[in-house]
């Protein structure tokens, strides 16, 4: 397998430009809640463990985690989304304030709740997850408010990330509008996709599906396929969606980069020493790839950096992000 290396000077050059870049993030935001505890007995009511909760943490999730990743890298993010006028919404806005992210592009809606995903963790193992959410497209008023926010900021950014978690922000009409404007202005556009919208992604700069999503987008039944089958699958998506670049994440196998014009395919093997939790790994990949590409990196350099960042985040339990110096150190240590 090809060994991919870049000089320390080049890695530092790319990463040190992050603080000159601004990226708009559009997508579904949510709160990731973790109930931490221990299992000491089985419930007398049903054959399930009883978790004695010892602590609770709440973190930014979905597109808000993408923003957190960008912020920690030194990128200036602008978030365009909607949350509910409820306690979870206030928690989410407080968490955003805690990372100095502007809330100007967030519409607080009285007609939909804030999405919260609650995970119960015992002895560092997830027992169950409970989701409170409304899966429905935005109404006309919400859509118009977000589009106004997007229009007011597009001239200030070098790129756009669409973080589609399928909760309703990325409706067909909204994404069609913002992609048309972004492509017209020659902005870099990266999309973390959901299958039901894949036909809307034609002509964007890059999409970053996992292997299951890539199969679904191609109309195929998911399977753990060979390297050659990954290659065939990727080129099928590149050609059907007219994509300059495609980055498929392959879990413990790393990621696969496709470059249309040069017809280059590169398999980047995972650099993770251990995989503890893949929650939010896709957010890290699209954040770092976008940060690097808009900072002047080649697609392969951007994928290289994203692969190393993902290797760090999957070693942590729950969503995690990487700072520039840690990313540089990791790339130099393992390249």
The answer to whether residue 276 scores a pLDDT higher than 90 is no
Maximal C-alpha separation, the chain = 63
Residues 256, 236: Cα–Cα separation, whole Å: 14
Q: Is 151 a catalytic residue?
A: no
Tens digit of each residue's pLDDT (9 = 90 or more) over 66-99: 999 999 999 999 999 999 999 999 999 999 999 9
Q: Where are the alpha helices (DSSP H) in 185-322?
A: 211-217, 227-241, 281-294, 299-313
Q: Residue 198: what pLDDT? A: 76
312: pLDDT confidence band, cut at 50, 70 and 90?
Answer: confident
Tens digit of each residue's pLDDT (9 = 90 or more) over 135-144: 999 999 999 9
252: pLDDT confidence band, cut at 50, 70 and 90?
Answer: confident
Domain ranges of the chain: 8-32+60-114+134-333
Answer for the pair 133, 108: CB distance below 8 angstroms, yes or no. Answer: no
The answer to whether residue 274 scores a pLDDT higher than 70 is no
In Å, what is the CA distance from 83 to each residue of 46, 107, 141, 154, 325? 36, 6, 14, 21, 33
Tens digit of each residue's pLDDT (9 = 90 or more) over 178-221: 889 998 899 999 998 876 777 788 889 999 999 999 998 888 88
Q: Residue 124: what pLDDT? A: 82
Q: Residue 316: what pLDDT? A: 61
Q: What are φ and ψ of residue 51, in 5° steps? A: -95, 120
Here the tokens at position 179 are 């992609």
Strands (E), the chain: 22-27, 29-42, 49-62, 76-84, 106-109, 115-122, 125-132, 159-163, 188-192, 206-207, 245-249, 255-259, 264-268
Q: What is the mean pLDDT of the chain?
A: 90
CATH architecture of residue range(s) 8-32+60-114+134-333: 3-Layer(aba) Sandwich (3.40)
Residues 93, 88: Cα–Cα separation, whole Å: 9
Which listed residue (100, 164, 283, 323) is catalytic? Answer: 283
Residues 155, 243: Cα–Cα separation, whole Å: 23
The set of residues, in sequence order, having a beta carbon less than 8 Å from that of 280 and lying 6+ positions away, is 32, 61, 65, 313, 318, 319, 320
Tens digit of each residue's pLDDT (9 = 90 or more) over 102-152: 899 999 999 999 999 999 999 888 999 999 999 999 999 999 999 999 999
């Amino acid at each position: 397998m090809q060994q991919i290396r870049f000089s320390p000077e080049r890695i530092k050059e790319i990463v040190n430009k992050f603080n000159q870049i601004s990226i708009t993030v559009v997508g579904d935001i949510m709160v990731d809640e973790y109930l931490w505890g221990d299992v000491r007995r089985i419930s007398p009511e049903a054959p399930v463990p009883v978790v004695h909760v010892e602590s609770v943490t709440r973190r930014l999730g979905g597109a808000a985690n993408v923003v957190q990743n960008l912020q920690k890298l030194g990128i200036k993010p602008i978030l365009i989304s909607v949350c509910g006028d409820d306690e979870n919404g206030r928690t989410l806005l407080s968490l955003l304030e805690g990372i100095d992210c502007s809330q100007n592009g967030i519409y607080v809606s009285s007609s939909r709740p804030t999405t919260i995903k609650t995970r119960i963790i015992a002895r560092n193992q997830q027992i169950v997850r409970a989701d409170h959410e409304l899966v429905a497209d935005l109404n006309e008023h919400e859509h118009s408010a977000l589009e106004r926010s997007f229009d007011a900021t597009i001239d200030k950014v070098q790129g756009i990330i669409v973080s589609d978690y399928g909760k309703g922000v990325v409706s067909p009409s909204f994404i069609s509008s913002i992609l048309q404007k972004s492509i017209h202005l020659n902005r870099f556009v990266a999309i973390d996709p959901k299958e039901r919208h894949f036909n809307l992604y034609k002509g964007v700069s890059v999409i970053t599906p996992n292997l299951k999503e890539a199969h679904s987008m191609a109309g195929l039944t998911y399977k753990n396929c060979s390297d050659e089958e990954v290659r065939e699958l990727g080129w099928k998506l590149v050609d059907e969606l007219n994509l300059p670049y495609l980055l498929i994440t392959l879990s413990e196998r790393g990621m696969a980069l496709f470059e249309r014009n040069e017809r280059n395919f590169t398999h980047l093997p995972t650099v993770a020493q251990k995989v503890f939790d893949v929650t939010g790994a896709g957010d890290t990949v699209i954040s770092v790839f976008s940060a690097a590409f808009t900072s002047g990196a080649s697609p392969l350099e951007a994928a290289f950096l994203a692969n190393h960042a993902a290797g760090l985040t999957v070693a942590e339990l729950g969503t995690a992000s990487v700072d520039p110096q840690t990313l540089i150190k990791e790339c130099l240590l393992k390249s």
